[in-house]
Amino acid sequence: MAKKQLNIGIVGYGFMGRTHSNAFLQAGRFFDLPCQPVLKAVCARNVERAKSFSDNWGYESIETDWRKLVDRKDIDLIDIASPNDTHAEIAIAAAQAGKIVMCEKPLGRNSSEALAMVDAVETAKVANMVWYNYRRVPAVVLLKKLIDEGRFGRIFHYRAKFLQDWTISQDLPQGGEGLWRLDVSVAGSGVTGDLLAHNIDTAMWLNGPIREVTAMTETFIKERKHNLTGEVAPVGIDDASAFLCRFENGSLATFEATRYARGHKALYTLEINGEHASAFWDLHDLHRIQYFDHRDEGQVRGWRDIHVTDGDHPYMDHWWVPGLQIGYEHTFIHQFADFAVAIDTGKEAAPTFRDGLATDYVTDAVLKSARTRQWENVSG
């Protein structure tokens, strides 16, 4: 018996368009999905690029106006993989059209955009998800499981970083194709929304809500040529952002993201210290987790380097054999597989838009604190 089709229309053809499309195609090969994803259409303003993308990934059709995509009756799910400044408008329209909505992170450029998006999907009662993909790294899922089992006891500390080095050169322009992340009007913010948002989403999933923050941001290179205008213009984004915070559970934390940490490409790291146990993970070796359990016998107590590739590790029984690792793109495959099941059963699959909003409240507080030079409470 053939499975029910899940007809997908995607907006955007960039880096995230690729990761999402790959997830739609691969999920069913490795997971027993309740539905059959069908790549109905890709939407992009540039018809050449839409065509090229469509040819590569096997989309059935193309659109150049996202409003037409949203209006199509043959589409069940709108996936938003376009720049941040398009998220809110598309998501709200899609929800109003009764579509399932998936959206790249951050949800909005700020919490007011995100709040409107949450209102839209909740009013329309449509399934929704934000692509905070690092929640589906097997090692991170294992960590969540260990925390939920109570192995850490009272949590004292959390720390997270996201270090990159790709914008150090003064010669790098801002704005336009492939560089919209440097244009504050499109991106909303710099590393705070792009990188810290990932750290914060995972952190609140693992350690609960954040109460208050004190932050600093910096723009190291003050002016860059803008690719759309050809003129040198002030840089509006934050190149680096760091904050101290207190979680609701009483733990203390430090967060830091930057694109000026030479030698690091995508070094997302996190560590949690509890009364009984601690754990550490980093994206550059995403298939490993370091775990320390103080209740181990003293003389052989040590940080356990867990190679998260075994059959009893999250998601891994779907892949190869123990010892053989998976990579970055698999996190999107896992996320879509989980979402497909959630849609089928009528349950929510986190992170929902509401979860995405919670992160935007924190990034708003971070950016505000950097301006006011005060501790700021997190709304929501």
| Strand pairing category for 35-43 and 210-218 | unpaired
- 68 belongs to the binding site for a second copy (CB under 8 A): no
Please report whether residue 246 would count as binding a second copy according to CB under 8 A: yes
Lookup: tokens for 254:
């430090």
Residue 258 binds to a second copy (criterion: CB under 8 A): yes
Between helix 197-207 and helix 353-372 the angle, nearest 10°, is 120
Identify the residue among 224, 313, 334, 354 touching a second copy (CB under 8 A): 313
User: Residue from 25, 124, 172, 342 that binds a second copy (CB under 8 A)?
Assistant: 25
CB of 166 to a second copy, least distance (A): 7
The gap between the terminal CA atoms of the chain, to the nearest Å, is: 46
By the rule CB under 8 A, 138 interacts with a second copy: no
Structure tokens, 220: 């190291």
Q: What is the per-residue binding string for a second copy in 326-345, x denoting contact by CB under 8 A?
A: xxxxx---------------
- Helices 353-372, 111-124: crossing angle, 10 deg rounding: 160
307 part of the interface to a second copy, by CB under 8 A = yes
Q: Quote the crossing angle between the two packed helices 111-124 and 87-96, to the nearest 10°.
A: 10
Interactions with a second copy, residue window 33-62 (CB under 8 A):
56-57
| Least distance in angstroms from the C-beta of 38 to a second copy | 13
Site membership for a second copy, residue 315 (CB under 8 A):
no
Output DSSP code: residue 318. G
The residue count for binding a second copy (CB under 8 A) is 89
- Of 59, 243, 315, 336, the one binding a second copy (CB under 8 A) is 243
Among 67, 276, 345, 371, binds a second copy (CB under 8 A): 276
Residue 1 binding a second copy, by CB under 8 A = no
The β-bridge partners of 289 are 306
Query: Of 165-184, which residues contact a second copy (CB under 8 A)?
Result: 165-166, 168
Q: Closest Cα partner for 194 from 314, 78, 61, 366?
A: 366
State the pairing for strand pair 100-103/77-80: parallel
Tokens of 364: 């708003």
256, 355, 360, 364: which one contacts a second copy (CB under 8 A)? 256
Q: What angle do CA 190, 191, 195 make, to 5 degrees?
A: 135
* Residue 320 interacting with a second copy (CB under 8 A): yes
